[in-house]
Amino acid sequence: MESGEAHSRYLRVDALTHPLAPIAERFWDARPGDGIVIGRDIPTRPIARLLSYIAIYQPIEGGTDFKVHLAGTAVRIRFAREITGAKLSELFAPEDFRVRYQAMMEVIDKNEPRRACITHTAGDVDVFRLELLMLPVWSPDRSTRWTAVFCFYF
């Protein structure tokens, strides 16, 4: 890698280390038997302090991309703009899009969470690191599987 070249390292992990992650994990563990439903279970009191860290992604274009249905304040700050309504493919470089798209599709297909750690670097310097907890959720009308992503920044 050339000096100053930007790069993202995406690693699937078994557990998250961010101090707020246990709240999101407990939310998943206590989910209703029929699953998490946008509008009924998100937002709710048990995760109120995490709402700025969440992004809700809706599959679009026959499942070939995702649209940001909702983005919390911390997520918007990371992108330095409002991203609600943006496509995942517009937010990330092709390789980063591919990795995130595949992870979210796996969450939907397997109906189970996925955890990841992402480090953004510039040359040999780590610029920032975040952990993700991706959860399968139902659309408000319960017709389609979406993905809720808790984004915890360090």
Tell which wins on pLDDT, 7 or 103. 103
In sequence order, the β-bridge partners of residue 12 are: 116
Contact between residue 150 and residue 43 where contact means Cβ atoms under 8 Å apart? no
Q: How large is the C-alpha radius of gyration of the chain?
A: 15
Task: Give pLDDT, residue 32.
Answer: 97
The Cα–Cα gap between 52 and 21 comes to 13
Q: Does residue 75 register a pLDDT over 50? A: yes
What would the CATH number be for the domain defined by 6-153? 3.30.450.20
CA 14: distance to chain centroid?
Answer: 16
Contact between residue 20 and residue 26 where contact means Cβ atoms under 8 Å apart? no
pTM here is 0.93
Task: Give pLDDT, residue 6.
Answer: 80
Give the residue among 69, 46, 47 at the shortest CA–CA distance from 57. Answer: 69
- Residues 134-146 have pLDDT tens digits of 999 999 999 999 9
Q: Does residue 2 register a pLDDT over 70? A: no
The stretch 55-70 carries a mean pLDDT of: 97
Task: Give pLDDT, residue 54.
Answer: 98
- Residues 95-120 have pLDDT tens digits of 999 999 999 999 999 999 999 999 99
Helix, strand, coil shares of the chain, percent, nearest 5, are: 30, 40, 30
Q: Does residue 58 register a pLDDT over 90? A: yes
